[in-house]
Amino acid sequence: MSLRTLVLFAIAVVASAVQVTETASKLTFSNARVSFDVQKSNGYIQNVTYQGTSLLGPVSGNAGQLYTDWPSNGFSLVANSSRQVLQGRDWAGIVITDNNTATGSLVQRSWFLRDEESGIHSFLRLAYFNETKPNQGALGESRTMFRPNTPLWTHIVTNNEQYATHPSDQAIANEIQVQDATWYIANTPNEPYVKEEADYWTKYTFADNQTNKAHGLYGVDASGDAFGAWWVVGQKDTFFGGPNHFDLMVDGIA
């Protein structure tokens, strides 16, 4: 009897390692290190908190959020998406399904948190099947955006060779657009980015193939603690064009 009680107690402790709480507007996933909120309205993630520090900052437009989108043709969220919360002994997650029966396209976004980890696992499934309209054009792009709205992140890191400071607010205020998503920012010549990297600021400078181990953001807070937010891909062979396909590592943050 006392052994059974002990075993049940152990299971109860493990089972509560990843907590899922729900309100009318969101589901919150948390373990001892990290927590995040999944918005019921669109599946976007807000309020990623790591040991008391906000990694995304407050929501302002699309900023302050982590989400996947499809700016090009083909895939989109639908009004009646469905969601399923899954929970195991030491993990929990959510699968959000957007099944567009009007076109035959399917989007499934999944976010999982394991106990003892400080990372969020992200899975994306895109499918299209339509016998009468077998081709609905190029996928174009799918972006999973970590879009902070906090001064914590000062550095942009592409790979172990290429990184730079994020241009300051002053540099951005004085910039001159020269072509698509490309600005001359040397009107502020003492800007660290200008001194260390280039006179021009563009996300294309930070493009890379998929052979890097990780890319992301780095910063040090007021009390001297260093933070990193890294996108780490578990399996690159199924990326469009395989691991050698060139892609943007930085987008939507300036």
Ligand X SMILES: *[C@@H]1O[C@H](CO)[C@@H](O)[C@H](O)[C@H]1NC(C)=O
Which range, of 63-71, 139-147, 172-180, 205-213, touches ligand X by CB under 6 A?
A: 205-213
Q: Which is nearer to ligand X, 64 or 219 (CB)?
A: 64
Quote the CA–CA distance of 54 and 69 in Å, as a whole number: 23
244 scored as a contact of ligand X (CB under 6 A): yes
Number of residues lying near ligand X (CB under 6 A): 21
Between residues 99 and 154, which has the closer beta carbon with respect to ligand X?
Answer: 99
**Can you tell me which residue has the tokens 């929501």?**
59
Question: What is the Cα–Cα distance from 150 to 147, expressed in whole angstroms?
Answer: 9
Question: Which residue, 35 or 150, is less far from ligand X as judged by CB?
Answer: 35
User: Which of the residues 84 through 143 are near ligand X (CB under 6 A)?
Assistant: 97, 99, 101-104, 106, 130, 132-133
Q: How far is the CB of 174 from ligand X (least distance, A)?
A: 30
For position 74 contacting ligand X by CB under 6 A, the verdict is no
What are 198's two structure tokens?
């280039």
Of the pair 177, 211, the CB lying nearest ligand X is at 211
Residue type, 217: L
Site string for ligand X, 45-64 (x = CB under 6 A): --x-x---------------
**Distance separating alpha carbons of residues 46 and 55, to the nearest angstrom:** 10
Least Å from the CB of residue 159 to ligand X: 5
Give the residue with the Cβ less far from ligand X, 80 or 118: 80
3 state DSSP class of 19: strand
Which of 192, 189, 209 has its CA nearest to residue 249? Answer: 209
Tokens for 10, please give them.
Answer: 């152990």
29 vs 183, beta carbon nearer ligand X: 29
Structure tokens at 101: 């029966």
DSSP classification of residue 90: S
Closest of 100, 34, 20 to residue 66, by C-alpha = 34
Calculate the CA 81 to chain-centre distance: 20
Distance CA(47)–CA(64), nearest Å, equals 8
Query: Of 82 and 144, which has the nearer Cβ to ligand X?
Result: 82
Site for ligand X in 161-200 (CB under 6 A): none
Residue 205 as a binder of ligand X (CB under 6 A): the answer is: no
Question: Distance between CA atoms of 109 and 200, rounded to whole angstroms?
Answer: 35
Residue with the shortest CB distance to ligand X = 104
- Which residue carries 């009680």 as its tokens? 5
The residues that touch ligand X, with contacts defined as CB under 6 A, are 30, 35, 47, 49, 80, 82, 97, 99, 101-104, 106, 130, 132-133, 159, 208-209, 211, 244
